[in-house]
C-alpha cells in the first residue's frame, strides 16, 4: 500500500511544541527556543592528559530502550546515554505504555509490553533533534495497530522521512507527512502487518533497523538487503533478546532475515562508550602538542570504527588496550598521542562505518600534511544539517583549504593544527557534531574559534566542554 503524503495532516490537531518533555527523568538538555549559547575554543594551557570515559553509545542506547519496551519482563540498562536524543526515546516508550524508570546515573529499568503490545499514545511524540529515534520509531509504530503523531524540533522537521515511510508502507501501515516527507508525521499502524522484502537503495542503518523493527510484528520472514554493511547493533540486540536473525553476504549484498513475531525476553544491557563521542577527545589529543589521553570502555564494533582505521592510515598514534567483549559488543581502551598526520584517500565503502565522524576527520585533515579526499558522502546531506556543506563551511570560515567535488570532500592539509588560521565563527545549524568539531579545531588553530550555539551538543555528549577542560587542565572552552 503506497505511503500517503499531504501538505497538512487531517485528523487530530498537531502541536509542534514540547510535548513529552516531562516524561524524561533529567530535564531535557536544550530548549530549541532558548537563547543560543555561543562557545569559544582556544589553545589549552598545556597538553591534554589523563584517563577519561565518554557517554554511552547513542545508537545502542536508543535500541536498548526500544527493545526493552518490546520485551517480556524487565530489562536493566547500565551506562545509558542521558543526552536529550535518548531521553526523547525514553519519553516515547513511556507514552507507548512501557514502564521506564531512571534508577541513577546511567542506570535505567524498562518493563516491556511484548512484541505487538504497545499502546496508542495520548499525545504527540516529540522526538526533539533525534533523526535516529524518529526513523526507528516509524518502524516500531508501523507494526502496531495504533494511531500516532510524531514531531521534532526545527532541525528534525527539515529532515526527510520518505526513506523509511516508503518501504514501511508495504507492511500495510499508512503515513501522512508534510510536503517532501517531513515531520510532523502521522501513522496508522497495520492491523495485520506484512513482512517486508526490501533492498536498500543506499546503505543506511536507520532504514534497515526501521524495517526490522516493523518485521517483529509480522508473521513470516522479513528480509532486508543492504548494498554495503552498516552498523549492526539492531541485529546484535535482536539476538540478545532472543529473536532469530540470519545474516549472509551474497552477490546481491548483505542479506538480513528476521523471523517475525518472536517473544523477546528481557535481558541486561551494558552500554559501551560511544566511539563517535570518543572521536572528539581523540582528535583533540592528536592535534594538541604533547597530549596523551586514554578513553576507557569504548565500543569497537568493526562497523563503527572506520575513523580509527583512517586515523592509523594517516599515521596517528592510536592504540587499543584491554580489548574484550561485553554484552555482545567488542570494547576496549583507546590511547591517543599527538603526532604528525598525513593526508589519505578515504574510500566510499568506509562511509557507513564512520558517517558521523567526517566533520572531525575534516579538522584533522586540515592539520595533516598533504591532501585528504573523503569519497562518497551523499548520506551527509541528510543529517542534522546538510553536514557535507556545513563541514566545508566550518573549515572555510577558519582559513582551511577545502572543496566539495560531487559527493567528495577534499581538504588540503596545512601541515599542523597551528597553521590553521582560525578566528572564524561557525554556523552550527543546530548540528551537535559540527559544533564539537569546530571547537576541537579551535584547540589547535592559531586564533580561537567561535561556534554560534553549543546547546545542541548535549543531545549526544552531555558535559563535553567540562570534560575537554578537565583534560586540558584549564578553561580551553568557554564563553566568548
pLDDT tens-digit series, residues 307-362 = 999 999 999 999 999 999 886 789 999 999 999 999 999 999 999 899 999 999 99
Which residue, among 70, 75, 59, has the nearest Cα to 135 in the 3D structure? 59
Whether 361 is covered by a domain: the verdict is yes
β pairing state of 125-126 and 147-151: parallel
313 and 220 assigned to the same domain: no
Report yes or no: 430 and 5 within 8 Å, Cβ to Cβ. Answer: no
Q: What is the mean pLDDT of residues 78-100?
A: 97
**Residue 128 included in any domain:** yes
> Which of 267, 239, 266, 262 lies closest to 116 in space, CA to CA?
262
Confidence of residue 379 (pLDDT cuts 50, 70, 90): confident
**356 in catalytic set:** yes
User: Which pLDDT value is given to residue 260?
Assistant: 98
Sheet containing 221-226: which strands, arranged edge to edge? 197-199, 221-226, 253-259, 245-250
Supply the mean pLDDT for the chain. 91
Nearest to residue 338, comparing CAs of 286, 303, 261, 385? 286
- 3-state SS string over 369-411? ECEEEECCCHHHHHCCCCHHHHHHHHHHCCCCEEEEECCEEEE
Decide the pairing of beta strands 39-41 and 147-151.
unpaired
Average pLDDT over residues 19-27: 35
Distance CA 211, CA 283 (A): 34
62 and 133: one domain? yes
Active site residue: 232, 356, 431, 458, which one? 356
Pairing of strands 107-111, 99-104: antiparallel
406 Rama class: left (phi>0) / alpha (psi -120 to 50) / beta: left
On whether the CB atoms of residues 232 and 329 are closer than 8 A, the answer is no
Domain co-membership, 221 together with 314 = no
- In a domain, residue 221? The reply is yes
β-bridge mates for residue 56, sequence order: 273
Residue that has been written with the C-alpha cell 529499568 in this structure = 109
Among candidate residues 260, 282, 313, the one where a domain is terminated: 260
Q: 319 and 204 in one domain?
A: no
Domain endpoint, select from 260, 284, 306: 260
3-state secondary structure of 109: strand
Residue at 387 is within a domain: yes
Task: Report the Cα 384 to chain-centroid distance in Å.
Answer: 10
Cβ-count burial 317-354 (b if 16+ within 10 Å, e if not): bbeeeeeeeebebbbbbbbbbbeebebbebeeebbbbb
Beta pairing partners, 90: none
Please check whether residue 14 lies inside any domain of the structure. no
pLDDT of residue 384: 65
CATH number at residue 256: 3.65.10.10
Q: What is the mean pLDDT of residues 7-12?
A: 31
Q: Could you read off the pLDDT of 210-242 as tens digits, one per residue? A: 999 999 999 999 999 999 899 999 999 999 999
Range of the domain at 398: 39-54+272-478
* 153 in Cβ contact with 32 (< 8 Å): yes
Domain assignment present for residue 267? The answer is no
Q: How confident is the model at residue 33 (pLDDT cuts 50, 70, 90)?
A: low
Are 351 and 413 found together in one domain?
Answer: yes
Percent of the chain at pLDDT above 90?
A: 87
Are residue 159 and residue 63 in the same domain, yes or no? Answer: yes
State how far Cα 410 lies from the chain centre: 24
What is the separation, in whole angstroms, between the first and last Cα of the chain? 53
Sheet holding 74-78, edge to edge: 99-104, 107-111, 74-78, 269-270
pLDDT tens, 383-416?
767 999 999 999 999 999 999 999 999 999 999 9
- Is the per-residue pLDDT at 258 higher than 70? yes
Residue 142: what are its φ and ψ, rounded to 5°? -60, -30
Helices and strands (H and E) in the chain: how many = 12, 24
| Pair (50, 62) in one structural domain | no
Indicate whether 17 pLDDT > 70: no
What does the alpha-carbon distance between residue 177 and residue 132 come to, in Å, rounded to a whole number? 17
Same domain, 285 and 214: no
- Choose one of 260, 290, 322: the last residue of a domain: 260
- H helix runs in 227-346, sequence order: 233-240, 275-287, 306-313
What is the C-alpha separation between 321 and 332, in angstroms, rounded? Answer: 6
Cβ contacts of 104 within 8 Å, gap of 6 or more: none
Residue 400 and residue 456 share a domain: yes
CA 472 – CA 469 distance, rounded (Å): 5
Q: What angle do CA 148, 150, 152 make, to 5 degrees?
A: 165
Structurally, how many domains does the chain consist of?
2
In a domain, 250, yes or no: yes
Res. 207: pLDDT tops 80: yes
DSSP code per residue over 157-208: GGSB-HHHHHHHGGGT-EEEEETTTEEEEEEE--SSPPPPEEE-SS--HHHH
Q: Are residues 88 and 193 in the same domain?
A: yes
pLDDT at 29: 42
Tell me the three cell numbers of residue 129: 533533534
Verify that 189 and 322 share a domain, yes or no. no
Cell of 459: 543531545
Contact 64, 270 (CB under 8 A): no
What pLDDT was estimated at residue 3? 37
Give a yes or no: residue 30 inside a domain. no
233 and 292 together in one domain: no
Residue-wise pLDDT for 123-166, tens only, equals 999 999 999 999 999 999 999 999 999 999 998 999 889 999 99
- How large a percentage of the chain has pLDDT more than 70? 92
Q: Measuring CA to CA, which residue among 57, 96, 436 is closest to residue 270?
A: 57
Amino acid at each position: 500500500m503506497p505511503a500517503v503524503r499531504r501538505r497538512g495532516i487531517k485528523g487530530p490537531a498537531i502541536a509542534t511544541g514540547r510535548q513529552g518533555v516531562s516524561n524524561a527523568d533529567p530535564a531535557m538538555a536544550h530548549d530549541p527556543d532558548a537563547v543560543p549559547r555561543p562557545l569559544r575554543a582556544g589553545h589549552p594551557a598545556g597538553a591534554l592528559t589523563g584517563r577519561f570515559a565518554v557517554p554511552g553509545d547513542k545508537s545502542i542506547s536508543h535500541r536498548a530502550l526500544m527493545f526493552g519496551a518490546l520485551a517480556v519482563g524487565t530489562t536493566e540498562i547500565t551506562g545509558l546515554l542521558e543526552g536529550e536524543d535518548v531521553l526523547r526515546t525514553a519519553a516515547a516508550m513511556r507514552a507507548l505504555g512501557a514502564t521506564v524508570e531512571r534508577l541513577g546515573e546511567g542506570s535505567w529499568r524498562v518493563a516491556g509490553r511484548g512484541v505487538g503490545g504497545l499502546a496508542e499514545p495520548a499525545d504527540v511524540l516529540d522526538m526533539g533533534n533525534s533523526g535516529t529515534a524518529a526513523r526507528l520509531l516509524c518502524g516500531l509504530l508501523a507494526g502496531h495497530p495504533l494511531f500516532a503523531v510524531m514531531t521534532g524540533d526545527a532541525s528534525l522537521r527539515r529532515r526527510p522521512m520518505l526513506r523509511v515511510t516508503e518501504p514501511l508502507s508495504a507492511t500495510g501501515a499508512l503515513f501522512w507527512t508534510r510536503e517532501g516527507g517531513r515531520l510532523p508525521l502521522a501513522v496508522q499502524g497495520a492491523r495485520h502487518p506484512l513482512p517486508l522484502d526490501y533492498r536498500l537503495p543506499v546503505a543506511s542503518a536507520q532504514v534497515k533497523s526501521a524495517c526490522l523493527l516493523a518485521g517483529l510484528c509480522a508473521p513470516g520472514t522479513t528480509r532486508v538487503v543492504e548494498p554495503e554493511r552498516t552498523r549492526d547493533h539492531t541485529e546484535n540486540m535482536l539476538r540478545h533478546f532472543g529473536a532469530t536473525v540470519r545474516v549472509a553476504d551474497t552477490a546481491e549484498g548483505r542479506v538480513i532475515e528476521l523471523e517475525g513475531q518472536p517473544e523477546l525476553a528481557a535481558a541486561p544491557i551494558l552500554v559501551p562508550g560511544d566511539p563517535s563521542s570518543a572521536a572528539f577527545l581523540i582528535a583533540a589529543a592528536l592535534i594538541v602538542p604533547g597530549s596523551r589521553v586514554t578513553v576507557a570502555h569504548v565500543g569497537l564494533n568493526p562497523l563503527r570504527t572506520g575513523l580509527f582505521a583512517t586515523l592509523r592510515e594517516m599515521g596517528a598514534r592510536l592504540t587499543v588496550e584491554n580489548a574484550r567483549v561485553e554484552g555482545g559488543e567488542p570494547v576496549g581502551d583507546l590511547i591517543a598521542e599527538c603526532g604528525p598526520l598525513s593526508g589519505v584517500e578515504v574510500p566510499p565503502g568506509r562511509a557507513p562505518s564512520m558517517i558521523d565522524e567526517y566533520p572531525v576527520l575534516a579538522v584533522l585533515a586540515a592539520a595533516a600534511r598533504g591532501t585528504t579526499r573523503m569519497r562518497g558522502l551523499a548520506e551527509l546531506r541528510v543529517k542534522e544539517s546538510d553536514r557535507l556543506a556545513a563541514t566545508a563551511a566550518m573549515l572555510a570560515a577558519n582559513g582551511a583549504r577545502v572543496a566539495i567535488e560531487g559527493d567528495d570532500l577534499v581538504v588540503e592539509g596545512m601541515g599542523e593544527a597551528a597553521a590553521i588560521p582560525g578566528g572564524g565563527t561557525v554556523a552550527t545549524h543546530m548540528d551537535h557534531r559540527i559544533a564539537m568539531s569546530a571547537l576541537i579545531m579551535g584547540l589547535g588553530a592559531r586564533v580561537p574559534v567561535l561556534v554560534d550555539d553549543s546547546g545542541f551538543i548535549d543531545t549526544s555528549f552531555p558535559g563535553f566542554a567540562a570534560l575537554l577542560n578537565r583534560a586540558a587542565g584549564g578553561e580551553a572552552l568557554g564563553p566568548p
